[in-house]
Structure 1
Amino acid sequence: MKALEMAWETRGKPVGVMFHSDQGSHYTSRQFRQLLWRYRIRQSMSRRGNCWDNSPMERFFRSLKNEWVPATGYVSFSDAAHAITDYIVGYYSALRPHEYNGGLPPNESEKPILEKNSNAVASFFVDHFRSSLAPLGEKACR
């Protein structure tokens, strides 16, 4: 749940997004579904027992296991949580090239989308702010 919260907040609390997963118990739990509802995120789940429906995540976990997780595992849950967070935030999303993105890391390939959306959001708020000040006259907008 912390990963979802972090992703939602770092992307500017987007509206109209979808979360796709398998039907694991953590994704079907009341607590997780309530978090999605609170953030107004639509939930999508793959068919039961069909790994092909969720192949991007299956690929991610294969990469994580092959590239990052030591063969002997981690000493503690805390060590695992820190190492996996470092992998996702510091390497996989920021540096690791992805064939799907034309060789760019996800953060680089998302930049144009995030900039476009942030400009649209900023424009909306400027327009909204100006329209709310319109009754005060032109001086309020300078």
Structure 2
Amino acid sequence: MLREDGVSIGRFRVRRLMRELGLVSKQPGSHAYKQATVERPDIPNRLNRAFATERPNQVWCGDITYIWAQGRWNYLAVVLDLHARRVIGWAFSAKPDTELVIKALDMAYEQRGKPQQVLFHSDQGSQYASRLFRQRLWRYRMEQSMSRRGNCWDNSPMERLFRSLKSEWVPPTGYLTAQEAQRDISHYLMHRYNWIRPHQFNDGLPPAAAEEKLNPLSGMG
């Protein structure tokens, strides 16, 4: 971001300035992922970690995570377009049910102008394997792909998004109310993450800016 403003700076200068100011980089700890090779016979792993796509609306990924708010766990479902790692849909609820993931998918579908022939990838969660969710994919003419059981690397872009959200943004003690959580998380996902936060996958460009640069006619505002 500093380079975009014309400021010449490198990691050694940043390290020196942080040391002088007593700042410490906040880094998430390592995560030990399970290894597995079991696919669902009816919904195979069609994506197979081919995370680099040629265009927007080619592959979308979805997943659910938990957020502490109002003295209990709440649940966040997000849909990510793999082309530039842009968040295109999300939903927040006190229940991790099928309705939650359908709302996130519906938002993405409308935001992106109702695209056709999208491959939707997720883990083997019961919400994504449910009859109602699969019917929604069928209605939108989308093909479904699922990670192998217990293998988080098969959906690693979603894992990285949630890791960034929780390590950089969500308060360590959670939120006082669910409404506060929804407002704050919406700001992070749709504004800060998409438009401001540099993304390594895009050579330092935020997802929305990278998408507009790569294909200005395909991105949604």
TM-score (norm 1): 0.74
Give the one of 24, 28, 39 matched to 2:140.
39
Q: CA deviation at 1:114?
A: 5.4
Q: 2:129 matched to 1:20?
A: no
Distance of aligned partners of 1:66 and 1:76 in 2 relative to their CA distance in 1, 3 Å threshold = same
The 1:24–1:77 alpha-carbon spacing in structure 2 relative to 1, beyond 3 Å, is farther
Alpha-carbon spacing, 1:103–1:57, altered in 2? closer, same or farther (3 Å): same
Q: What are the residue-to-residue correspondences of 1:107-122 with 2, within 5 Å?
A: 107-111=208-212, 112-113=214-215, 115=217
Taking the aligned partners of 2:144 and 2:181, their CA distance within structure 1 comes to 27
Q: Distance between the aligned counterparts of 1:60 and 1:25, measured in 2?
A: 21
- Pair 1:3 & 2:108 matched: no
CA distance in 2, matches of 1:110, 1:98: 12
Shift of 1:9: 1.6
Q: 1:94, 1:108 within 8 Å by CA — same for their partners in 2?
A: yes
The reply to whether residue 99 of structure 1 matches residue 200 of structure 2 is yes
Report the counterpart of residue 89 of structure 1 in structure 2.
190
Q: In structure 2, which of residues 151, 158, 161 is the aligned counterpart of residue 50 of structure 1?
A: 151
Deviation at 1:20, TM superposition (A): 1.1
Partners of 1:11 and 1:114 within 8 A in 2: no
Larger deviation, residues 41-50 vs 23-32? 23-32
Report the RMSD for the aligned CA atoms in angstroms. Answer: 1.9
What SS does structure 1 have at the residue aligned with 2:136?
Answer: helix
Alignment partner, residue 30 of structure 1: 131
Matches within 5 A, 1:63-74: 63-74=164-175
1:48 maps to a residue whose letter is R
Letter in 2 for 1:76: T
Unmatched segments (≥5 aa) in structure 2? 1-101
Give, in whole Å, the separation in 1 of the partners of 2:110 and 2:143: 16
Contact 2:211–2:219, Cα closer than 8 Å, also in 1: no
Q: What secondary structure is seen at the aligned counterpart in 1 of 2:179? A: helix
Q: Which whole-Å CA distance do the structure 2 matches of 1:75 and 1:44 have between them?
A: 36
Q: Distance in 2 between matches of 1:85 and 1:110?
A: 20
| Larger relative contact order, structure 1 or 2 (CA cutoff 8 Å, min sep 6) | 2
Q: Which has the higher helix share?
A: 1
Distance (Å, rounded) in 1 between the aligned partners of 2:145 and 2:216: 22
Distance 1:101 1:38 in 2: 32
Q: TM-score, normalised by structure 2?
A: 0.49
Deviation, 1:83, is: 1.9
Q: Unmatched 5+ residue regions in structure 1? A: 119-142
